Amino acid sequence: MNIDIERSNLVGLGRAELAAVLAEFGAEPFRTRQLWHWIYHRGATDFAVMTNLAKGFRERLAERFILGRPEVAMAQASRDGTRKWLLRFADGQEVETVHIPEEDRGTLCVSSQVGCTLTCRFCHTGTQRLVRNLGAAEIVGQVMLARDALGEWPSPKEDRQLTNIVLMGMGEPLYNFDSVAAAMKIVMDPEGLAISRRKITLSTAGVVPMIARCGSELGVNLAISLHAVRDDVRDVLVPLNKKYKIAELLDACRVYPGSSNARRITFEYVMLKGVNDSPADARELVRLVKGIPAKVNLIPFNPWPGAPYECSSDAAIAAFSDIVFAAGYSAPVRTPRGRDILAACGQLKSASVKARRGERVPETVTV
Ligand code: SAH
């Protein structure tokens, strides 16, 4: 966020918090709705544009508050249209946010923590030590910044470039649930950013005790980073599995509020050569998710320097997908997007830090 020692940021406050701050400031209650509209529907970054507020009131607001955004430390665009922003917060910590345009939608991949504590063996972000949780303002700030960059204010009703949000960036969102929830409530508010809970997907490595709350308090779509069908394999790939076993994780999915055949739980499965990609693994996956409204997302492993794994062959991925598909589940292979700017799954942050230190990186277009 913009560094301003005198003035505080209104972006990131929920409705009740905004009302409380404005009440303390001496503003009438109806001002909350007006400000909310300007901040989250119109994307105002300056009080001066709020023409339905008296000039004197705008000036007083500007003396006391800001409408801040995260600072963009680096912006890149991939040849495939994917965009990535390295954002720097007031304390110098950084995270990445990625926008992935598709024919019929545009997805923003949002980070929830600086770094990650989970140390999944195949994930580059996991090699960084966690520095800290993001606050609600820093999470909402990623969405606001993307809207700024896409020129998408006021919040359009249709033909949006930013239609969906996935909490699949850096960090484990269920280890920072309070801030993630506060941020998503702001994002979902129909009088603001207005991105429906049906268009938001939270991805977790399996923090079982938090899954029910995620469903009841937010009602967003759930994605599970499963990646293995046996506990001994998953213990190595996703060490959190030592705490919450596959059976327990799937039980939490079975009772996830709001899931149905129309709103399926996504099981993400990274394809690692010779580790988890056999036809027997595929059959076991089908057996495990039986009874859960599920879809499977196969993710070709994105390599990074020093990674202890290789991506499965195209033939192995196709065979795996066919088995899952034949059992009645959709099993698309996720096309890696933005690999040339290190924006693909598991490539975030540590890579761009290396890039700035002058190590060799693929050609990029800086925008
Ligand atoms: N901590 C949460 C949110 C991160 S989501 C979670 O684990 O779900 C990021 C997704 O990318 C996860 O499914 C993760 O397992 C996957 N991923 C991480 N590293 C990857 C890599 N090198 N190649 C492909 N997918 C990867």
**Is the Cβ–Cβ distance between 112 and 173 less than 8 Å?**
yes
**Which atom, in ligand 1's list, is nearest to the CA of 223?**
8
| Average pLDDT estimate for 145-153 | 96
State if residue 122 touches ligand 1 by the CB under 6 angstroms criterion: yes
**Which atom, in ligand 1's list, is nearest to the CA of 170?**
4
pLDDT in tens, 242-264: 999 999 999 999 999 888 888 99
Residue 367: pLDDT above 60?
no
For strands 71-77 and 106-109, give the pairing.
unpaired
Q: How far is the CA of 21 from the centre of ligand 1 (A)?
A: 38
Rounded CA-CA distance 261/265 in Å is: 9
φ and ψ of 127, to 5 deg: -85, -5
Catalytic residue among 96, 138, 172, 268: 96
pLDDT in tens, 39-69: 999 999 999 999 999 999 999 999 999 999 9
Closest C-alpha to ligand 1, atom 15: 225
Q: Model-level pTM?
A: 0.92
**What pLDDT sits at residue 22?**
97
Q: Which residues contact 111 (CB under 8 A, 6 or more apart)?
A: 95, 96, 97, 134, 139, 142, 169, 170, 171, 348
Identify which of 108, 122, 345 to mutate to test ligand 1's pocket (most ligand atoms within 8 A of the CB): 345
Is 345 known to be catalytic? yes
Is 96 known to be catalytic? yes
